[in-house]
């Protein structure tokens, strides 16, 4: 089934004085997709996200949301349709977690307003969905980084938007909180939410994203299914880093850097132990020479 286009970026260019940040970017994002932007620092990922949010005006090109040019709709309309989850930050004011979640209701209010019982219920439900309702009365400044990021997602849920734009949402989170964040993105995607997020972790894209968009020097250099385009060669071209992208247990992929002492030996030991489905680099021949082919491996996916 063909997915319905939700966001279209056409011929987009943007720059500052004597610096081109984005050059002729074309991109279509379908409803319900998880799309991950990959690229080195300064390649234009954050700028592209800000233009999609209507926070920056492009020098050339247009962005359409549900076939409507975002430059011709009100900020209030966009705020109801698109939620922004920034990199984790620490507020200087000790708002309660519930107050942060309630801020998501502001696009639905008039200039002078009070939160209604319905607003309170929506904010509470958002906290409940993310299993952080027990933090409702805690100060945002006193909770952990992972809890703060989940609070920002709760605010986005309370906003009522079905499209989330996330700028490096896992930045600054410990490993456990990164995994919990990815788990929530997967769960919400299954409910029909759309995610456009940037990351510096190709593995995060491989684990949860439907598509990866690789950006370098302000241009899209590759766009497609993660399994098709995230590989040793593309990551070297993107980051100038030697990495082996290995497939574990038939589906899960991990990235093992070659430049760190011992990683090549680790990758080879995985392959020799038959725990991975694809060999890194030229290890296929050594594998065949060292280990006889077993009957149950003849039809394995390589």
**What superfamily does domain 5-94+105-110+159-238 belong to in CATH?**
P-loop containing nucleotide triphosphate hydrolases (3.40.50.300)
Name every residue whose Cβ is closer than 8 Å to that of residue 98 and which is 6 or more positions away in sequence: 123, 124, 127, 136, 137
Give the pLDDT score at 268: 61
Distance CA 254, CA 132 (A): 30
Provide the token pair at 248.
């574990």
Q: What is the 3-state secondary structure (H, E, C) of the chain?
A: CCCCEEEEEEEEEEEECCEEEEEEEEEEEECCCEEEEECCCCCCHHHHHHHHCCCCCCCEEEEEECCEEHHHCCHHHHHHHEEEECCCCCCCCCCEHHHHHHHHHHHHCCCCCCCCHHHHHHHHHHHHHCCCHHHCCCEHHHCCHHHHHHHHHHHHHHHCCCEEEEECCCCCCCHHHHHHHHHHHHHHHHCCCEEEEEECCHHHHHHHCCEEEEEECCEEEEEEEHHHHCCHHHHHHHHCCCEEEEEECCCEEEEEECCCCCHHHHHHHHHHCCCECCCCCCHHHHHHHHCCCCHHHCCCCC
Query: CB 66: neighbour CB atoms within 10 A?
Result: 14
- Per-residue pLDDT of the chain (302 residues), as tens digits, is 567 889 999 999 999 887 889 999 999 999 999 999 999 998 999 999 999 999 999 999 999 999 999 999 988 889 889 999 887 666 778 899 999 999 999 888 877 778 899 999 999 999 998 889 999 999 999 998 888 888 998 999 999 899 999 999 888 778 888 888 899 899 999 999 999 999 999 999 999 999 999 999 999 999 999 999 999 999 999 999 888 888 877 677 888 887 765 665 666 665 555 454 554 444 334 333 444 444 444 443 43
Query: For residues 301 and 277, is the Cβ–Cβ distance under 8 A?
Result: yes
Question: Is 0.75 topped by the overall pTM?
Answer: yes
Give CA 50 to chain center in angstroms: 14
User: What secondary structure letter does DSSP report for 96?
Assistant: B
Give the pLDDT score at 112: 74
Segment 109-113 long-range contacts (CB within 8 Å, at least 24 positions apart): none
| pLDDT, tens digit (0-9, with 9 covering 90-100), for 257-277 | 877 656 656 666 655 554 545
Query: CB 140: neighbour CB atoms within 10 A?
Result: 22
Closest CA to 155 of 106, 192, 117: 106
Name every residue whose Cβ is closer than 8 Å to that of residue 295 and which is 6 or more positions away in sequence: none
- The ranges assigned to domains in the chain are 5-94+105-110+159-238, 242-302
Query: For residues 224 and 212, is the Cβ–Cβ distance under 8 A?
Result: yes
256: helix, strand or coil: strand
């Amino acid at each position: 089934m063909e997915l319905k286009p939700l966001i279209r970026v056409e011929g987009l260019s943007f720059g500052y004085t004597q610096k081109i940040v984005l050059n002729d970017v074309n991109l279509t994002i379908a409803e319900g997709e998880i799309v991950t932007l990959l690229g080195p620092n300064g390649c234009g990922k954050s700028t592209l996200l800000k233009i999609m949010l209507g926070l920056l005006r492009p020098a050339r090109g247009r962005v359409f949301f549900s076939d409507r040019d975002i430059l011709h709709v009100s900020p209030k309309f966009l705020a109801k349709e698109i939620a922004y989850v920034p990199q984790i930050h620490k507020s200087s004011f000790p708002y309660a977690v519930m107050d942060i979640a309630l801020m998501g209701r502001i696009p639905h209010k008039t200039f002078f307003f009070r939160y209604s019982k319905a607003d309170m219920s929506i904010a509470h439900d958002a906290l409940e969905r993310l299993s952080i309702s027990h933090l409702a009365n805690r100060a945002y400044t006193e909770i952990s980084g992972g809890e703060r990021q989940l609070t920002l997602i709760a605010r986005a849920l309370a906003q009522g938007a079905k499209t989330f734009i996330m700028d490096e949402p896992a930045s600054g989170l410990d490993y456990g909180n990164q995994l919990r964040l990815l788990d929530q993105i997967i769960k919400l995607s299954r409910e029909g939410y759309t995610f456009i997020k940037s990351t510096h972790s190709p593995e995060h894209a491989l684990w949860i994203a439907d598509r990866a968009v690789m950006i370098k020097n302000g241009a899209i250099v590759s766009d497609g299914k993660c399994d098709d385009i995230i590989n040793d060669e593309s990551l070297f071209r993107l980051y100038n880093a030697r990495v082996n992208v290995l497939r574990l247990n038939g589906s899960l992929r991990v990235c093992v850097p070659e430049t760190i002492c011992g990683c090549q030996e680790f990758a080879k030991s995985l392959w020799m132990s038959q725990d991975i489905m694809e060999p890194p680099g030229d290890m296929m021949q050594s594998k065949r020479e060292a280990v006889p082919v077993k009957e149950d491996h003849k039809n394995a996916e390589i």
